[in-house]
Amino acid sequence: MARRDAFSTCHPWVSFLFFALTIFFSMCFMDPASLAASFLCALAYVLRLNGQEALRLQLRALLPILLFTAAVNPLFNHQGDTVLARLPWGSPLTLESVLYGLAAALMLCAVINWFVCFTAVVSSDKFVYLFGRVIPALSLALSMTLRFVPRFKAQFRTVVNAQRCLGRDLSSGPLHRRLKTAVSVFSILVTWSLESAIETADSMKSRGYGLPGRTAFSIYRFDHRNKLVLFWLALCGGALVAGWLGGGFAWQYFPALQVSSSLPMAAALRLLYLCLCLTPLILNGKEDLAWKRSRCAA
């Protein structure tokens, strides 16, 4: 079972800035150390948010993506000086193309994991709070999209159970009957989703959503803790961007593996990036420690 997450209680702008930084840097830093730090920290945060069973399902879903992405690149990219073998059609299989494929696969999986954490932390209410006044129509559409998947899954289970009570089981019976039941379930779900979207749009319109000058109730307060975390994120983000533009994360795969930055500078920047990715886990560890101390004192 997932435990309480301290980072989810931060202000929405703090959470949004953290995920914007981690996702952006995960797509820009292609060196193995940064990719490994981003991927492992994202997995650890998924474990904290959703628990062991969700992490196990996440890894089972990511493994085919990882293997497919890593295998496709060497088949079409033949750059590199180190030839490992020859493919059946005569093209070279190079070490550099294999390593670049692994790096691209790891980057993709890290970004997916961060987006999983983003959807768990930045709820639809927080998203509307962030962008409701700037882009009201788009923010409403995105917030509905973010909460559509869990609602659709819950409604799917409800419809399947109702059909099973009527003697229409998707998991047993002749194939043509199961196909007919599946079509019926799909039709019910599509009708429900369209009706739900229309009801939500009408409800928001009747409340004056998007009108100029409209005020909204907010439970989010920018306290001292949020200021400290925001300062930390801004400091890390500024330092990492400066280091990236200065070549501190330079890593060359083709035509041969080569590190273009000095070792002390590269090590310091990657350590700072690791600390940035560990920010939610550090906050959770601090809160867990305070909770244990309070229980011991009591």
Distance CA 124, CA 254 (A): 43
Res. 280: pLDDT tops 60? yes
Q: What is the pLDDT of residue 2?
A: 46
Q: What is the pLDDT of residue 142?
A: 65
Distance CA 74, CA 85 (A): 11
The torsion angle over the Cα atoms of residues 241, 274, 130 and 125, rounded to 10 degrees, is 160
Q: At what angle do helices 12-28 and 124-131 cross, to 10 degrees?
A: 90
Q: What is the pLDDT of residues 33-85, one digit of tens each?
A: 899 999 999 999 999 988 888 888 888 888 888 888 888 878 787 777 777 77
Banded model confidence at residue 1, pLDDT cuts 50, 70, 90: very low
Give the burial string for 78-102 (b: 16+ CB within 10 Å, else e). Answer: eebeeeeeeeeeeeebbbbbbbbbb
Q: What is the pLDDT of residues 100-119, one digit of tens each?
A: 888 889 999 999 999 989 98
Res. 250: pLDDT tops 50? yes
Higher-confidence position of 10 and 89? 10
Q: What is the pLDDT of residue 218?
A: 65
Distance CA 298, CA 285 (A): 20
Q: What is the pLDDT of residue 159?
A: 86
Ramachandran class of 51: left when φ > 0, alpha when ψ lies in -120 to 50, beta otherwise: left
Higher-confidence position of 258 and 163? 163
Q: What is the pLDDT of residue 156?
A: 84
